[in-house]
Structure 1
Amino acid sequence: MKTSVTWRAAAAATLHCLTGCAIGEVLGMVIGTAAGLHNAATVVLSVALAFVFGYALTMRGVLRAGVDLRAALKVALAADTVSIAVMEVADNAVIVAIPGAMEAGLDNALFWGALAGSLAVAFLLTTPLNRWMISRGRGHAVVHHYHHAH
């Protein structure tokens, strides 16, 4: 089933997903950097936390609509997995590619600028994907009616 989806709707869905990803991503980068973890371990931690927080934000809205925990998890997995995965590949590729960004430290503008820039790139790359998925009843379209059920 293919439906027309506006860029605004796709951007809103992407921003929703990016919020959870950003919380996890920033938290992972801060913890990994502060703890002096190897870059690879910091990226793994950031990706794991991005998925956890991304799914949690989606599940919060679905649970509020009265859906049980197991069903809410299934909805979150269906709604966000592809979007989060693409965001994480994009933003981690950007931050790793910027010379010195991972080693810059929490008190350095390079670290924070690279992190913010990487999230912006992830948003720009994921929005067209989300538009395409929503137009086919996939991705954020799976969760859409739960947001309006409350």
Structure 2
Amino acid sequence: MDHSTHHTDTAHDLATRRSHAGHHGRRASGTSWSMAAKATLHCLTGCAIGEILGMVIGTALMWGNVETMVLAIALAFVFGYSFTLFAVRRAGLDLKSAIKIALAADTVSIAVMELIDNGIIALVPGAMDADLSDGLFWAALLGGLAVAFLVTTPVNKWMIGRGKGHAVVHSYH
């Protein structure tokens, strides 16, 4: 398929690609742990960059816990979506279609990851009040991301097995 076709994807083209991705996801559902882990790592990378940046900015500016967490979550979504957005744009997809794909591919994964990660950070006594130089701050943040990876990987496996989530992105490779 030439790149000019990617620029003019219609709703039918997107549905066909989703169906194609779903077919591959179901066929590989018994052996898709590797794909799920890669999809989760992809998502985790964007989330971690946004999350860490948000926590660092909020903590450095001495913002309250709520403001810091809101910034961290917002940046996690921005960076998480941007990784997928740039990848499908490089594959030749127009901006509107690329945004739809990024939203479809990453929303559930990022939401689960952020819920788990921020829940852990909020529950670790003193973590939200720790300074950037405090090991507790980093242990809670990185530990939360690690647990979020472990919880989100099965979610991504389930979604990929049904042709959703990152299975949609893989149809553009």
Q: Which residue of 1 aligns with 2:125?
A: 99
Q: Which residue of 1 aligns with 2:75?
A: 49
Letter in 2 for 1:3: R
TM-score, L = length of structure 2: 0.83
SS in 2 for 1:105: coil
1:28 to 34, 47, 54: 54
Asked whether 1:16 is paired with 2:42, we answer yes
Structure 1 residue ranges, 4+ long, deviating more than 4 angstroms after superposition: none
- Between structure 1 and structure 2, the one with the greater Rg is 2
Q: Which residue of 1 aligns with 2:28?
A: 4
Map 1:48-87; keep pairs closer than 5 Å. Answer: 48-87=74-113
Q: Which runs of 5+ in 2 are unaligned?
A: 1-21
Letter in 2 for 1:4: A
Contact 1:134–1:140 under 8 Å retained in 2: yes
Q: Provide, for residues 79-129 of structure 1, a one-character-per-residue CA deviation record: whole Å limited to 9, x for no partner.
A: 000000000000000011001111111011110111100000100000000
User: How far is the alpha carbon of 1:53 from its aligned partner?
Assistant: 0.3
Give, in whole Å, the separation in 2 of the partners of 1:29 and 1:98: 15
1:116 to 123, 130, 142: 142
TM-score, L = length of structure 1: 0.95
Tell me how large the CA RMSD over aligned residues is: 0.9
User: How far is the alpha carbon of 1:33 from its aligned partner?
Assistant: 0.6
Give, in whole Å, the separation in 1 of the partners of 2:111 and 2:140: 19
Contact 1:86–1:126 under 8 Å retained in 2: yes
Contact 1:3–1:136 under 8 Å retained in 2: no
What is the aligned length? 147
